Structure 1
Amino acid sequence: MKKTHFLVSMLVLAVFNSCQNTDENDNENLRKQESHSKTVNVTTHDGRPFSTGSGSVSGKFVSGPGGGVLMQGFYWDVPEGGNWWNTVKDKLAAWSDSGISAVWLPPASKAQNGAYSMGYDPTDYYDFGNFNQNGSVETRFGSRTELEALITKAHAENMQVYADIVINHNSGGQSQSNPFTGTNTWTDFSAIASGKFPRSYNDFYKNSYGNNDEGAFGGFPDLCHANPYVQDWLWGRDDSVGKYYKNVMKFDGWRFDYVKGFGPWVVNTWNSNVGGFSVGELWDSNVNTLEWWANNANSSVFDFAAYYKMDEAFDNGNLNALNDDMMWKRNPYKAVTFVANHDTDIINNKMPAYAYILTHEGYPTIFYRDYEEWLNKQKLNNLIWIHNNKATGNTSILYTDNDEYIARRNGYNGNPGLVVYINNSSSWQERWVQTNWSSKQIKDFTGNSTWYPTTQGDQWVKIQSPPNSYSIWSLNQ
């Protein structure tokens, strides 16, 4: 749901000449003492959903050892005119070839504002731009035929498609007398064009089931999930919203909007009845709250704890903030990490933030405008490739201070893992670190450093990182 919208001031990353390699044995013992390590107690390998191996010559997504990456395939107020589904469809082959494994679409059904709506004010869950309703046939994004063509194309590219599901509230109903409020309310959805999931005042709070649930949003009628009729239409019956989206429209998963508005049991029950990947938008920086919700919903959750810590780290000169607790550290299988989305875009120094989420555990998300408009696509593609092919195993934080952060992915199932070095300072930095590799040549897979050092027998090696940038090291193979 759209809450706030921030303009992004872009950071232009300069390209620096690499320093010359120096004798790694100089002051070895001193530098070893400088590098201190802390291991994060997380699982031993990634758990994100992935299709089949990394970009291939056919253009189809193929999952590498590190899995895949989610693309948020929209932003707030994408162009009107019904062409967005076609716009996204035309980008899928390039996205899949770059290592994008799934695309998250905006709410696809007809909403109150018809062709002008971003979909977060849903009226008819079964009108995908094929009924003349709310002032238009098509939605803002296009027709049902175009949406189905997008989903078919994504599946041909071995990509999954996630639907944005708005089930906290509805909008666009007609006025009716409501005995529970003693007034008229906009809760009459009996005449919706699809004829599916007609609703009336008893399907919204307050009603015979109570006065309210966990939360309402924006004055919209608040859907009552305690009502068995509502449950049946959302996930129970064969043509329920969830099963129709999955079995007829062929969506593979769900991004649940504003899950603060209803209990986690709703998502849990949907997932049990419908299946598919799911992630909840629980806008809360408290990692305990995120973990509680994810466990009770049996769902992934957006890692807002990491999001706000990254803002502190990369915009406010305190990389020590990355030592703090985050959802991906609690359970990477249920953490979806992100740098920006359609609702909130507060991180200005974005490339180091993307280097962070694309080298660490969790399921990383790329924001459409960052990828297609605002940032260096070649650098993002490089990070996506590194994620899919090198970002394996659990995470050990090797060094942090205000300006420097070094972490190691410890590898898994024969994959060597990596070492990421993020440098917020205005000059080149060097550190001795302990790797996973004994007497092996390594290189920086970003190309930011031209060093090709060889690790010592005890696995220590000196690496470097350019100013206001990052380097990512792994075996030269």
Structure 2
Amino acid sequence: MKIRERLLKFILPICLLLIGCSTEKLLDDQLSKEQSPDVQLLKSVSSKAVTASNLKPIGSGVMMQAFYWDVPAGGNWWNTIEGKVQDWSNAGIDAIWLPPASKAQNGAFSMGYDPFDYFDFGQYNQMGSIETRFGSEDELKTLIASAHNAKLSVIADIVINHNSGGQSEINPVNNQSNWTKFTPLSGKFNRDYNDFHPNHNHGNDTGVFGGFPDLCHHQVRVQNELWKNPESVAKYYKNTMGFDGWRFDYVKGFEPWVVKDWKNEVGGFAVGEYWDGNAGTLDWWTGQAEVSAFDFACYYRMKDAFDGNNLNKLNDDMLWKRNSTRAVTFVSNHDTNEIYHGKMLAYAYILTHEGYPTIFYRDYEEWLNKERLNNLIWIHNNLAGGSTNILYTDNDEYISKRNGHNNSGIVVYLNNADSWQERWIETNWSNTKIKDYTGHSNWEPITQAGRWVKIQVPPKSYSVWAPK
């Protein structure tokens, strides 16, 4: 672990807050109406946001989850990511999602999901360390600046359901001892039992997590400290640190109006982690919160399809099929990595279909073929547009087409069988030479006048067809 607990940083923490402050970055509120509907994401972005001319529009490319559970401790993670943002941007990434960045109860060993001081990004000597697991405040600001220089938005992971690391105090509402006395060294958002459940005004919300003190968002003071005041958590993250958007952790734990109010107050792209495989439930939550959600329905249907060897499951209901502008699709993340077989097929699925796809750091940097993923990102950004029609499914095969929007569209062929497959399909193109843009097939057939053509796909693989 890096030794950062130097006397200078202990004596002069306030000075460091003033060093390297990022210029405020505002995420675009409304993507161009000339873009395809699946990249407009209009309902997921605040009406107060304006276009940041130097950043790629969110949804025009692919999001990178720039961490995994238990990344190496030692305070080097921000520097590691800072060295990759330009390459990611060149590959077609438009945003990076960072882990919870502020000091948590477990200090230098925490992944950030046990938040203690929302305003300590690795500057104050508390919870056993100065730096967070990921690095110092200066290193985080350098990373954000480098990401912005690479035209990438930076998404903050926001944990506002619960807190951790407080001191014990008696709660007069239930006459019990609770760990709800928070006096962080930043001097901001001091908390006591009134800010948690239960209190004199509100007994509980929709859920608690892991026994942690549960923040009460119905308390006006909590709303002010989290997102409404000029020096609130949300506005400090945005205006001082330079974050552009939000990933809300465990949104099942509080009502959707909380996310809606936060987004309406400060703007920026927002996506919630509503962990539920029911597409209807996800659709309901996104409508209430007026932001995007991770498409767990799509995730579980892909698990059934590729690990369960039944591609018919891709016919089932998913959030992207109900409202693609609010669906953030994924194959793996820091909590879930259950699609073991056919993982590249799963990426071929989300990177050719509607929704805003996310790539998991370890899949991209360590576990899968980066060249193939870059090819699929290029296909997503340049060829995959318009509505989707499923053309054929069985246990081993899946074929669909995107109908195009300011592009010709594509035909996607997934094959979970152990042998090459061929099939006649009806395209949108008459008398047109097409090719497989993945390079998996060297065929270049010409569609008939009636738009029919035979395409092929290798075993346990995929092909993506469009006019040459």
- Tell me the TM-score normalised to structure 1 length: 0.87
Aligned counterpart for 1:316 among listed residues 308, 311, 317: 308
Residue matched to 1:408: 401
Higher-RCO chain (CA-CA 8 Å, sequence separation at least 6)? 1
Query: Which residue identity lines up with residue 291 of structure 2 in the other structure?
Result: S
1:382 pairs with one of 367, 375, 387: 375
Q: Please give the alpha-carbon distance, in whole angstroms, between the structure 2 residues aligned to 1:48 and 1:371.
A: 25
2:248 maps to which of 231, 236, 256: 256
Q: Which amino acid in 1 is paired with 2:130?
A: V
Q: Which range moves more in the overlay, 371-380 or 202-211?
A: 202-211
**Which residue of the other structure, out of 209, 225, 228, is the alignment partner of 1:236?**
228
- What root-mean-square deviation, in Å, do the aligned CA atoms of Structure 1 and Structure 2 show? 1.5
Which residue does 1:360 correspond to in 2?
Answer: 353
Q: Structure 1 residues 168, 62: closer, same or farther in 2, change over 3 A?
A: closer
Q: Is the CA contact (8 Å cut-off) linking 1:303 and 1:338 kept in structure 2?
A: yes
Q: Do the aligned partners of 1:85 and 1:141 also contact (CA within 8 Å) in 2?
A: yes
Aligned AA (2:141): E
Counterpart CA distance in 1 for 2:224 and 2:60 is 35
Match of 2:108 among 90, 107, 115: 115
Deviation digits for residues 238-263 of structure 1 (CA, Å, limit 9, x no counterpart):
11111111111111100000000000
Amino acid at match of 1:265: W
Structure-2 separation of matches of 1:120 and 1:346: 21
Conserved? CA contact 1:294–1:334, under 8 Å = yes
- The corresponding residue for 1:95 is 88
C-alpha displacement of 1:417: 0.9
- CA distance in structure 1 between the partners assigned to 2:55 and 2:100 by the alignment: 24
How far apart are the structure 2 equivalents of 1:198 and 1:61?
Answer: 35
Q: How many residues align?
A: 422
- 1:205 aligned counterpart, secondary structure: coil
8 Å CA contact 2:95, 2:154 repeated in 1: yes
Give the aligned residue type for 1:465. Answer: V
Counterpart of 2:179 in structure 1 is 186
- How do residues 435-454 of structure 1 correspond to structure 2 at under 5 angstroms? 435-454=427-446
TM-aligned CA distance change 1:171 to 1:157, over 3 Å: same
Code of the aligned partner of 2:318: M
Q: Is the 8 A contact 1:105 1:164 kept in 2?
A: yes
- Give the aligned partner of residue 161 of structure 1: 154
Structure 1, residues 73-112: CA drift from partner, whole Å, max 9, x if none?
0000000000000000001111111111100000000000
- Specify the SS of the correspondent of 1:248: helix
Structure 1 residues 152-211: Cα deviation after superposition (integer angstroms, max 9, x where no partner): 00000010000000000000111112112212211011x211111111001000111222
Residue 63 of structure 1 deviates from its aligned partner by 7.0
2:327 paired residue number:
335
What is the aligned partner in structure 2 of residue 347 from structure 1?
339
- SS where residue 133 of structure 1 aligns? coil
For residues 99-248 of structure 1, what are the structure 2 equivalents within 5 Å?
99-189=92-182, 191-248=183-240
Q: What whole-Å deviation, never above 9, does each CA across 1:420-475 have from its counterpart, x for those lacking one? A: 00011111111111111111111000000000001111111110011110000011
Opposite residue 81 of structure 1, the aligned amino acid is G
Q: Does 1:273 align with 2:265?
A: yes
1:264 deviation in Å? 0.3
The alignment partner of 1:96 has SS state of helix
Letter in 2 for 1:275: G
Is the CA contact (8 Å cut-off) linking 2:95 and 2:153 kept in structure 1? yes
Distance verdict in 2 for CA 1:144–1:48, change over 3 Å:
farther
The answer to whether the Cα contact below 8 Å between 2:55 and 2:153 also exists between their aligned partners in 1 is no
Separation (CA, whole Å) in 1 of partners of 2:166 and 2:40: 38
1:62 Cα deviation from its structure 2 partner: 6.0
Question: Which residue in the other structure is 1:82 paired with?
Answer: 75
Q: Deviations over 1:339-375 (max 9, x none)?
A: 0000011001200000000000000000000001100
Q: Which amino acid in 1 is paired with 2:425?
A: V
Q: Which amino acid aligns with 2:250?
A: Y
Once residues 244 and 354 of structure 2 are traced to their aligned partners in structure 1, the CA distance between those partners, rounded to angstroms, is 22
Compute the displacement of 1:301 (Å): 0.2
**What's the secondary structure of 1:355's corresponding residue?**
helix
Match of 2:453, as an amino acid? V
Structure 2's unaligned 5+ residue stretches are 1-34, 43-53
Q: Secondary structure at the match of 1:422?
A: strand
Runs of 4+ in structure 1 off by over 3 angstroms are: 60-64
Which segment drifts farther, 429-438 or 331-340?
A: 429-438
- State how far apart, in whole Å, the 1-side matches of 2:416 and 2:313 are: 13
- CA deviation after TM superposition for structure 1 residue 45, in Å: 2.7
Aligned equivalent of 1:37: none
Conserved? CA contact 1:445–1:472, under 8 Å: yes
Alignment check: 8 A CA contact 1:71 1:100 kept:
yes
Aligned partners of 1:454 and 1:283: how far apart in 2? 45
For residue 418 of structure 2, what is the aligned residue in structure 1?
A: 426
Structure 2: distance between partners of 1:316 and 1:291: 25
